[in-house]
Amino acid sequence: MARPAPLLLLLAAVCLVAASSAGGADAAERKTTTVGVYELRKGDFSVRVTNWGAVIMSVVLPDSRGKLADVVLGYDTIAEYVFENSSTYFGALVGRVANRIAKARFVLDGKAYHLYPNDGKNTLHGILEKFPEVQEIHGAWFISTNSGHRGFSNVTWTVKEHVGGGDAPYITLCYHSFDGEQGFPGALDVYVTYQLSGPYVLSVHMNATAAGKATPVNLAQHSYWNLGGAGSGDILGNTVQLFASRYTPVDAELIPTGQVAPVAGTPYDLRAPTPVGARVHRVTGGLSKTGATIYGFDTNYAVDGGDDVDAHALRRVAVVRDGKSGRSLELWANQPGVQFYTGNFLTADVKGKGGKAYGQYGALCLETQGFPDAVNHPNFPSVIVRPGQVYKHEMVYKFSF
C-alpha cells in the first residue's frame, strides 16, 4: 500500500509534534508515554500489535484442521517486552540500522561516526542504554524514560491510525528519531503500517525520511515464526526454501567479509525445499559467551532479482512449511537481503507466553533488509538515505493451511 508524498509529510509532522510535545526524545527531563495493545482482526485471522517497539505480539490463524494457534514467539505483558526483549527482539521493528555494524563505527561523507557497541565491540540492531520505568494502572501501561540512546525496538511509537476490523484492518505507527540518537547523524521520521490486506495476508509497510543530514537506514521486522504454534517445540522439521543464489560469508563475530558468494555446493544452499534439521548442524551461527561454537543459521542471503533495474519491486523471498500443522508461510519483499536465523541463542531460560521455555531452534526469523555492515562495504547495496529521499521497505506474508 504505497502512501502519497503529502501523507508521508503529514505522518512525519505528526511524529515530530509528538516528540516535541513530550519535550523531545533527547530532552533531559523524564518523559512518560502510554503504551497499548491493538488488535487487527479479519475473521479467524488476527494480529496484535503494541506501540512499544512497534512489536507484533501475536499472529493467530487456523491449521489444516481448523485449530487456531499463535505462530509468533513473544511475551504476555508489556513489562516483559520492556525488560526481557532487548536481546531477543521478539516481534520488534529494529533500527535505525538492523543487524551488525563492525567495530560500532562507519564513515559517511568523510566524517567518522562512533556508535554504542552492544554485541562485543560491534553494534547489533540498536542499543538500550537505560531501562525505563513501567507501571500498569487499571489495565493501562505507562512507561517513563530519561534521555538515553535506544534502538527503535526500545521506544514508544505514536499511534497515528488504527482500524481494527473491516475489509483491510490496519495500524500505522510513527517515531521521530533525533539527530545523534544511537550515534547516527541527522533526524529521521519513521512510520510502519501493519495491515491484514487479504485473506490470511499480513502486509508490512515501512517508510523513513531523513531531515538535514544523510544517514544510514536499514529497518527490519524481527518476528520469530513457529508455524506449529509458539512453544510447540522446535522448527527442525520445517522445510525452508529461499529464493537466493548468493549469500554474504561472515567471520567468527558474524561480520561480513565483504564477499558475496554463491550458495551452490555449500550447506547454505536452500534453493530447494530443505528440512531445517538437515542443515542446521552443518553451519555455524556465532560463539557462546564461553567461546563455544553455536550451530545454526544466522546468515544474510542476497535475494534473487535484487540487482535488477526495478530492484525495489516485490520479489519472492522464502517459503516455510510445517508438515504437522499444515501451515505454510510465503514471504515477498523489496529488499536486497534476508537474514535467515534459526533461534540458535534461544535457551531454556528464555520463557515466553504462558511461561513456556522456547529452547534452541524454537522458531525461525526471516528479516528482509539491506546487507549487514553495508556502511563499511562499498560493494554492498547502499543503505544511505539523503535528505529529500524516502526509504521504503515492503513485506507481504501470505499464509495457507
Q: Which phi-psi region, left, alpha or beta, contains residue 239 (left: φ > 0; alpha: ψ -120 to 50)?
A: beta
Mention every residue, 6+ apart, whose C-beta is less than 8 A from residue 243. 271, 303, 304, 315, 316, 317, 318
Determine the Cα–Cα distance for residues 79 and 94; give it in Å rounded to an integer.
18
Q: Could you tell me which residues come within 8 angstroms of residue 365 by beta carbon, excluding any fewer than 6 positions away? A: 222, 223, 224, 225, 339, 340, 341, 343
Give the residue among 168, 143, 181 at the shortest CA–CA distance from 36.
143
298 marked as part of a ligand binding site = yes
- Out of 367, 377, 393, 394, pick the active-site residue: 367
Is 39 assigned a catalytic role?
no
DSSP SS3 for 301: strand
Does the annotation place 224 within a ligand binding site? Answer: yes
The span from the first CA to the last CA of the chain, in angstroms, equals 25
Written as nine digits, the cell of 400 is: 495457507
Q: Is 41 marked as a binding-site residue? A: no
Cα distance between residue 110 and residue 185, in whole Å: 13
CB 276 within 8 A of CB 364: yes
In 22-156, which ranges are continuous DSSP H helix?
A: 78-84
Residue 279 labeled ligand binder: no
Flag whether 99 is marked binding. yes
Residues 106, 375: contact at Cβ < 8 Å?
yes
Catalytic residue among 176, 205, 222, 377: 222
Are the CB atoms for 88 and 222 separated by under 8 Å? no
Is 373 one of the annotated binding-site residues? no
Cα torsion through 303, 151, 387, 370, rounded to 10: -10
Q: Does 330 participate in catalysis according to the annotation?
A: no
Provide the residue count of the chain.
Answer: 401
Annotated binding site for beta-D-galactose: 99-100, 222-224, 298
Instruction: Kindly list the catalytic residues.
Output: 222, 367
